Each structure stands twice: as C-alpha cells, then as structure tokens.
Amino acid sequence: MKTLAFTIAVVSVLLTSFVVVSGQQTANQELEFSSLSLSISTTRSSFLLNEPIPITLELSNRTGKPILGHGTLRFSSNFVQIYLRTPDGAKREVKPLSPNRIFSVGKDSLIPPGTHVKHTELLGLDLERHFPVAGNYQIKAVLKSRDGRHFISTDWTTLEISEPEGENLRALEYLKKKTDISRVFSAPKTHDSYVVYEDFVNSFPNSQYTPYICRNLAEYYKFKGSGEKASLYSSCLESFTWFPELGSITTINN
C-alpha cells in the first residue's frame, strides 16, 4: 500500500512538473501566422460600373502574444488575394491585383500584441471583367504567410455596383472608346494617353471617374518636372474630397 501511494505521488509530481514546464514553454512561444486577424473595408458601399474600388486591409494582432509573420499588404506582393462572389453566386479570384511585379524579399518577425497595420490600395485592373454587370457583389481578402502554407481571411463584405448615369455614363463611354479601360486606372502607359486623359478631364470634370485620371496626370507631370500641370491636376484630385489616400501603410501599436 505504501508502495502504491509512493508511486502515485511520484507520478503526480512528474505530471505536474510536465504540465508546468509545458505551460511555461507555450507561454513563452510566439503564435503562428494564422493567429493574426484581417479585415477588409471600402470607402463606400456603392460604386459605379468600372469605377476603381479603394480597398483597405487591416491586419491586427488581437492576441496577447507576439505572432511570427509579416505585414505586407500591398497588392504587388504575392501575399494578398481578393475573392469575389458575383450577383449570380459564382466565386472567383480577382487576379492580377497589381500591374507591377516586384521582386521583393523580406523576413518574418514577431508582430507585437496590439499591432494594427492598415493599407489602402485601388482595385482597378480589369474591372469590366470582374464586375461585368450592376448588382450586389461580395468581396473578401486572404493574406498568405511568407511560405504560402498559412492563410488568414476576412469576412465577406458586400459591394453594390450600379449603372452610371448622366455625365458618369458619358465619361465611361469616353474611356471605353479612347483608352484601354481594363488598365486605365492602374497602369497608364504612353505619352499619347495623357493627351486623351487631359481631354477627358476637361470634358468630364465632375464624373466619379475623373479623380483617378487627375491622379494619373498629376503623377505624370510631377515625374516630367512640369510643376504647373502637376499642381493643376493635384488640385483636381483634391477637389474630390471623398478620394482616399492610397498606398499608405499605417502601423500603430496600442
């Protein structure tokens, strides 16, 4: 009997030690990538056909522990995927997200608890293909880990895509006729296209498509060193107060 009691006591001590040690190890270890949280939002809930959609992704560590991972949210990386549900219920990936392929390298690091990373970028490529008709679409984002083995996903969020009318309709018809509508908002190309863009802005100064073209023109003339024109089209862009700040990454820790 004494022997049995001694055995139970020894086993209990060993088990308790094991649990304590294991618990300590878990407490000290970081969590894996899939413990991060991702959310998706847009500046508005309704957009016109072929109107670029500013997408804001927010990555958060809502746990109490550091998480090993990355915070690369830009569309030109291969970590972000966007999926759509079309009005007829079909699901598809929006691909490519960016007109640029960037050879980028980086390493994972520990993302502290309380970290929030926000990034806003335009969904502006191949809109005619992805949003072919007016209706309610659902959209979600997925962020892959650096090795591609882990994923985090947002919930589906609903977007209403509506038919343009009046000046917006005429503006869209102009763009379809005189530009490569699939890439006009994301990948402006030749010098000649800027002549068309200027004519567009003059012809349709108030359309919902206009600030995107003003942005292209402002960047082009800034690059060319044409300060006056760059300023002109920057002012055009600023006149659309709803236009979001793009490309910025906001990182906060609280």
Name the residues that contact other proteins, by CB under 8 A: 70-72, 76-78, 96, 99-109, 111-112, 115, 117, 146-148, 183, 187-191, 219-220, 223-224, 247, 249, 251, 253
Q: Which one, 159 or 236, has the nearer CB to other proteins?
A: 236
Closest CB to other proteins among 136 and 193?
193
Least distance CB 33 / other proteins (angstroms): 13
Residue closer to other proteins (CB basis): 5 or 105: 105
Is the distance from CB of 171 to CB of 185 less than 8 angstroms?
no
Q: How far is the CB of 12 from other proteins (least distance, A)?
A: 44
Q: Is 83 or 156 the residue whose CB approaches other proteins more closely?
A: 83
Buried residues in 120-155 as b, exposed as e (16+ CB within 10 A)? bbbbbbbbeebbeeeeebbbbbbbbbbeeeeebebe
Closest to 123 in 3D by CA, of 238, 244, 252, 223 = 244
Specify whether the CB–CB gap between 197 and 216 falls below 8 A: yes
- Shortest CB 101 distance to other proteins, Å: 5
State the nearest-atom distance from the C-beta of 62 to other proteins, in Å.
Answer: 15
Nearer to other proteins, 118 or 161 (CB): 118
Q: How far is the CB of 229 from other proteins (least distance, A)?
A: 14
